[in-house]
Amino acid sequence: MSEPVSGPETDLSAKPATEAKAGISLANRITDAIENDDRRALIDSFADAHPADIADVLEQISSGKRDDFIRLAEQDFPSDVLPELEEGLRDEILPLIDPKLLADAVGEMDSDDAVYLVESLDADLKEDVLSSLTVSDRIGIERSLEYPEYSAGRMMQRDMVVVPPFWTVGQTIDMMRAREDLPEEFYEIIVTDPAHKPLGTVLLSRLMASRRPVMMDTIMGDDFRVIDATDTQENVGYIFNQYHLVSAPVVDESGRLAGVITIDDAMRAMDDETKEDLLRLGGVGDEELTDSVIEIAKQRLPWLAVNLLTAVLASAVIAQFDAVIESIVALAILMTIVASMGGNAGTQTLTVAVRALATKDITPTNAMRIISREASVGLLNGIVFAVVMGMLTWAWYGDPALGGVLGAAMIINMIVAALAGILIPIWLEKLGADPALASAVFVTTVTDVVGFLAFLGLAALVLL
């Protein structure tokens, strides 16, 4: 095995510590410069910082300090930070930036980042920015904006390396060396036919390992994945994850090459989708840390209102057994245990189901097996906790029948919770609804209603 090559002055152990130190102190350096109204210190503070780290600081400081940051930075504002910002904060910052600076920034960005930024501008500012671009850049951005939001057409880069199949490795290398507008980062060369339809891709590593006279069509991989420009970013992330891609060609409705998506954009899409699913499972929506109190309250209020209605429904079930509860006061103490355990079991199954649906791991082929497995898990856990709580209830109240009723109700609700947690998201997806957004409310309703009904109903039959 060959030894790693490094220069005599390379200090690999010191670099991470230096970077970590810079990352920790960046926020303090920026805020100190803002508080001292020191433009030079501010510019020096972020001169060597990564755009993502600067974006984190802007998301953490107050809106007043952000305004001061933009005012002090003026034309030195780090425009490469804009694509890294949360959408809401970016929309807040963009009107404060000089349009000429925005236009210059868009002209220097990768095409996918440029589209991501331009789509956030209001109509007048968007026209000002687009009119400042070269004809080719403007046409490219406008074509990308014609695709649906959160689609592959919005994500793709139009800067790519494309060659015909009859070129040699030598011609391809010479062309790349002569070009001054190569993409800043790329991993594959796309081989297309005369109609500009993708035939295959050649990894840069394969290209560099081949001799100059070798034809490109003899070393291209023909098992590559093509993404439709109208595909959702969720599906793009799935394709990259499923097939371990580093890049993929994007085609328009006629099958012609329109752009390319690289691994960094796909991972950003997956991160966005994961974040969205987590927030929606909690009934939160697309809330961001920089949102105002009013904005957050507006997003949370609808689902809290839905939860209130489901709570009223559960209370209506309890009201049907008020006489039973008056006769046996212990029921009022114990019935919350049944509903709570069912709710937690349902949430566990729901989380697994929503993630499996997002990654397309649940299919018509294995759906029944997974449903049966979850029901069996609910039964097994129900039996375990039924025995535990049944014995504790018997010891606590000295009534074995009450312990038996509690145990039986817990088994019933744990099975129902498991079934609800898997079936409800599957049904919602078939109906075209987002399982992450609506499932939690329905699962909670089912476990509460069934838990109270099973416990109080059994109590009425057995104990009275």
CATH of region 293-462: 1.10.357.20
Percent helix / strand / coil, the chain, rounded to 5: 65, 5, 25
Rounded alpha-carbon distances, angstroms, from residue 124 to 65, 128, 130, 131: 27, 6, 10, 11
Helix (H, G, I), strand (E, B) or coil at 198: strand
User: What one-character-per-residue DSSP string does 300-354 give?
Assistant: HHHHHHHHHHHHHHHHHHHHTTHHHHHH-THHHHHHHHHHHHHHHHHHHHHHHHH
Output DSSP code: residue 189.
E
What pLDDT, in 10s, does the model give residues 392-428? Answer: 999 988 889 999 999 999 999 999 999 999 999 898 8
Sequence letter at residue 37 = D
Lowest mean pLDDT of 12-21, 40-49, 90-99, 107-116, name the range. Answer: 12-21
Domain ranges of the chain: 17-150, 162-281, 293-462
Architecture of domain 162-281: Roll (3.10)
- What's the mean pLDDT when you consider all of the chain? 83
Is 108 a residue whose pLDDT tops 90? no
| pTM score | 0.63
- Say what the alpha-carbon torsion angle 247, 252, 257, 261 is, to the nearest 10 degrees: -20
Average pLDDT value for residue range 46-60: 88
Q: How is domain 17-150 classified at the CATH fold level? A: MgtE N-terminal fold (1.25.60)
Under the banding of pLDDT at 50, 70 and 90, the label for residue 464 is confident
Tell me, what's the pLDDT at 176? 93
Give exposure, 154-189, as e/b (b: 16+ Cβ within 10 Å). Answer: bbbbbbbbebeeebbbebbeeeeeeeeeebeebebb
What is the 3-state secondary structure of 134-149?
CHHHHHHHHHHHCCCC
Tokens 């609800």, residue? 420
Report residue 350 as tokens: 């729901």
- In angstroms, the CA 266 to CA 244 distance is 11
Report residue 147 as tokens: 């695709």
Is 5 a residue whose pLDDT tops 60? no
Average pLDDT value for residue range 363-376: 89
